[in-house]
A and B are shown apart, each in its own frame.
Chain A
Amino acid sequence: MKRLLLFAAAALCLALPAACTDGPGGVATTPAAIADTTKADEFALGALELSYKGARLACEVLVDAGKIKGDDAVHFGQLNDTAKARLDLARRAYDAANSTNLAAALIEAQAVVSELYQLADAKAKDAPNG
């Protein structure tokens, strides 16, 4: 699963520079224009959305199995809220076609999503039947 998150991070790294590359013939020369004519931003945000989905599903499986409860659940809840808030920031940058803000927001969001997943991964390994 860590490879999944690494893959997502790599996807973000690959997608974002592409969004800042001028196309031949001067078709699109500003970040907003490029964002409107390429799929790079969709690709980058999609990778983040999938990362969050993987992390939250991992948490949900553990909650359903009774592996997360009490104070742990509070901590997971805080991380889930933070991850979603960062995801929402990335979405707003995407909606505004602001590739510069999107790049920063994606990196920040990915960090929290990775933390959420890594915590779930550690909890799964700790659990007797995880």
Chain B
Amino acid sequence: MGNLVALLLALLDLVGPIIARSPEFIQLYEQFVKLLDKDTDQAEARSALEALRDENDAGYLRLRQKLLDASLR
């Protein structure tokens, strides 16, 4: 199950220009919710959430730096 979560999270990154690709993104969303809602036990759900938190922490810092650089242009 951990591999599936990792795959889903990797796919989110591969969606690309997500503004133009919202159906795919929504589908991934729904898959993630199913993952949490159905067969996943709480420990697995927490693990998936932990991975997402780490990813968002790194992504936040990356975007922050990019916006800082862009503000100087």
Residues of chain A at the chain B interface (Cβ within 8 Å): 1, 3-4, 7-8, 11, 37-39, 42-43, 45-47, 49-50, 52-54, 56-61, 63-64, 66, 68-71, 73-74, 76-77, 80-81, 84, 87, 91, 120-121, 124, 130
Contacts and interface: CB of A to CB of B under 8 A. Distances in A.
B7 to A, nearest CB: 15
B34 to A, nearest CB: 11
A8 B22 CA distance: 13
Contacts of B66: 60, 63-64
A62 to B, nearest CB: 8
Contacts of A69: 70-71, 73
Interface of B: 12-13, 15-19, 22, 25-26, 29-30, 32-33, 36-37, 40, 42, 45-46, 48-49, 52-53, 55-56, 59-60, 62-64, 66-68, 70-71, 73
B45 A53 contact: no
Given A54-B18, A56-B59, A39 B42 contact: yes
10 nearest A-B pairs in the assembled complex, by CB-CB distance = A73-B70, A73-B71, A77-B67, A42-B45, A69-B73, A1-B22, A49-B52, A69-B70, A39-B45, A63-B66
B62 to A, nearest CB: 7
A53 to B, nearest CB: 6
Query: From DSSP, what is the main secondary structure of chain A's interface residues?
Result: helix
19 contacts: A42-B49, A43-B33, A43-B36, A45-B49, A49-B52, A49-B56, A50-B12, A53-B12, A53-B52, A53-B55, A53-B59, A56-B56, A56-B60, A60-B59, A60-B62, A76-B67, A77-B68, A77-B71, A80-B67
